């Protein structure tokens, strides 16, 4: 029935899971970070505003088709679950774009995430043109967000960022990763701590909401303290709206893996990364950011809260895990990775605990001493 398609990129932040994904640039203009494999071997390019507008028009056509189907099947224009399910299962609607629009409408149709890695590399006027067109076509949109590199943002005037806010840009997601300059160089991030600070401050001053991302474990065994402390120092000077943590997982396709093979980088254990996270939080001072652990790779996703008032709560949650006996930690780590546990508190639920223990015993008998290998396989499957 429909062959309507528009271009979408490969990734989005976890917090944009209900957003419509709309590609503005393709891949990443830097593309040298050694902990990232997403855009490797891909060429960066910028879509011109007319191309993006055409994609927006296609989205509008798909929305109209879905609304018509809703009336046709007796849902009165509502995007109901049975309608969405039928669209997802109907081979006539085999377009990923069609499916994503249906799911977007079902989730409220309020948020849009612009892909790929650094959309602020566009001329300010061109990006503003796209934003204004989005708001014109979909006036009910409440939030438009994007990834951007700190290096790029640090070169934007505050007035330019203000223009983007007025055009409709609500939030910028920036991968800080670490505030430690030697580590930024080691992983080839292509930006300095001071440029991160400058970029973050400019975004905040412009009135655009800011999310800064930190990678737990990026310091490895050799630089974990510097990673935690220096990152906190940078975050304290930015005061981002959100500090979002994600846990390092090194795949063989990542350049960082070569440094592991050469002995130049030594991975941290789960417990060591939790200690690093504790040190990071402990050094966050004088800010009003919200600390968020919204990535599936994070072991303690319950460690979230508003600073400064919930800082002690977060530290106590970490201490509770760290104080567990080793056997209990292993039970929890495995239970979290297979989705049985959501928090350390779930260890007190016998029905969940026993389920995990039975599987651990089976693994122990079939693959003795393989728990870390199994956990690594599980986390690799997440990305």
Q: pLDDT, tens digit, for every residue of 114-135?
A: 999 999 999 999 999 999 999 9
- Residues of the chain with pLDDT > 70, as a percent, come to 99
Contact between 311 and 281 (Cβ < 8 Å): yes
With bands split at pLDDT 50, 70 and 90, how would you rate the model's confidence at 1?
Answer: very low
The 10s digit of each residue's pLDDT in 257-289 is: 999 999 999 999 999 999 999 999 999 999 999
Q: What is the mean pLDDT of residues 296-301?
A: 96
- In this prediction, residue 382 carries a pLDDT of 84
pLDDT reported for residue 52: 98
- Residues 191/193/199/201 CA torsion (nearest 10 deg): 180
188: left (phi over 0), alpha (psi -120 to 50) or beta: left
306: left (phi over 0), alpha (psi -120 to 50) or beta: beta
Q: How far is residue 73 from each of residues 62, 86, 252, measured CA to CA in Å?
A: 16, 10, 49
pLDDT at position 230 is: 98
- Whether 201 has a pLDDT exceeding 60, the answer reads yes
- Which pLDDT tens digit goes with each residue over 38-52? 998 899 999 999 999
CATH number of 170-323: 3.30.750.200
Angle among Cα 361, 363, 364 to the nearest 5 degrees reads 60
- Residue 3: predicted pLDDT: 67
217-254 residue pLDDT tens: 999 999 999 999 999 999 999 999 999 999 999 999 99
Q: Where are the domains of the chain?
A: 1-148, 170-323, 326-383
H/E run at residue 145: strand 143-148
Ramachandran angles phi, psi of 175, nearest 5°: -85, 90
The Cα 182–Cα 232 span in angstroms is 15
Instruction: Give pLDDT tens digits for 158-193.
Output: 999 999 999 999 999 999 999 999 999 999 999 999
Quick check: helix, strand or coil at residue 299?
coil
Over residues 42-91, the pLDDT tens digits come to 999 999 999 999 999 999 999 999 999 999 999 999 999 999 999 999 88
Give the model's pLDDT for residue 40.
87
CA 231, 236, 237, 240 dihedral sign is: positive
The rounded distance, in Å, linking the Cα atoms of 229 and 282 is 9
- N-to-C CA span, the chain: 33
Nearest to 242 by CA among 263, 218, 213: 213
């Amino acid at each position: 029935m429909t062959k309507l398609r528009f271009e979408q990129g490969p990734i989005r932040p976890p917090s944009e899971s209900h957003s419509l994904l709309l590609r503005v640039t393709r891949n990443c203009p830097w593309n040298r970070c050694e902990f990232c494999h997403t855009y490797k071997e891909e060429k960066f390019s910028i879509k011109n505003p007319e191309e993006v507008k055409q994609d927006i028009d296609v989205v509008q056509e798909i929305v109209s088709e879905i609304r018509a189907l809703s009336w046709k099947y007796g849902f009165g224009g509502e995007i109901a679950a049975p309608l969405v399910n039928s669209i997802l299962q109907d081979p006539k609607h085999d377009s990923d774009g069609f499916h994503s629009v249906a799911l977007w409408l079902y989730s409220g149709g309020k948020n849009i995430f612009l892909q790929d890695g650094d959309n602020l590399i566009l001329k300010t006027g061109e990006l503003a043109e796209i934003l204004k067109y989005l708001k014109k076509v979909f006036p009910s949109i409440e939030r438009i967000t994007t990834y951007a590199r700190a290096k790029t943002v640090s070169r934007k005037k505050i007035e330019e960022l203000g223009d983007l806010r007025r055009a409709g840009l609500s939030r910028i997601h920036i991968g800080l990763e670490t505030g430690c300059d030697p580590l930024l160089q080691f992983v080839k991030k292509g930006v300095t701590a001071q440029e991160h600070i400058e970029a973050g401050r400019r975004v905040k001053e412009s009135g655009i909401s800011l999310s800064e991302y930190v990678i737990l474990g990026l310091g490895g065994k050799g630089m974990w303290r510097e990673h935690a402390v220096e990152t906190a120092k940078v975050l304290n000077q930015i005061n981002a709206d959100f500090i979002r943590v994600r846990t390092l997982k090194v795949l063989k396709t990542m350049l960082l893996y070569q440094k592991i093979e050469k002995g130049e980088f030594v991975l941290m254990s789960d417990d060591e990364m939790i200690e690093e996270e504790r040190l990071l939080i402990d050094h966050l001072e004088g800010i009003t950011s919200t600390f968020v652990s919204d990535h599936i790779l994070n072991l303690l996703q319950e460690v979230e809260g508003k600073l400064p008032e919930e800082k002690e709560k977060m530290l106590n949650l970490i201490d509770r895990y760290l104080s567990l006996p080793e056997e209990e930690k292993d039970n929890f780590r495995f239970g979290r990775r297979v989705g049985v546990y959501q928090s350390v508190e779930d260890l007190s639920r016998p029905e969940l605990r026993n389920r995990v223990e039975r599987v651990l015993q089976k693994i122990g008998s079939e693959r003795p001493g393989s728990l870390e290998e199994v956990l690594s396989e599980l986390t690799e499957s997440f990305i």
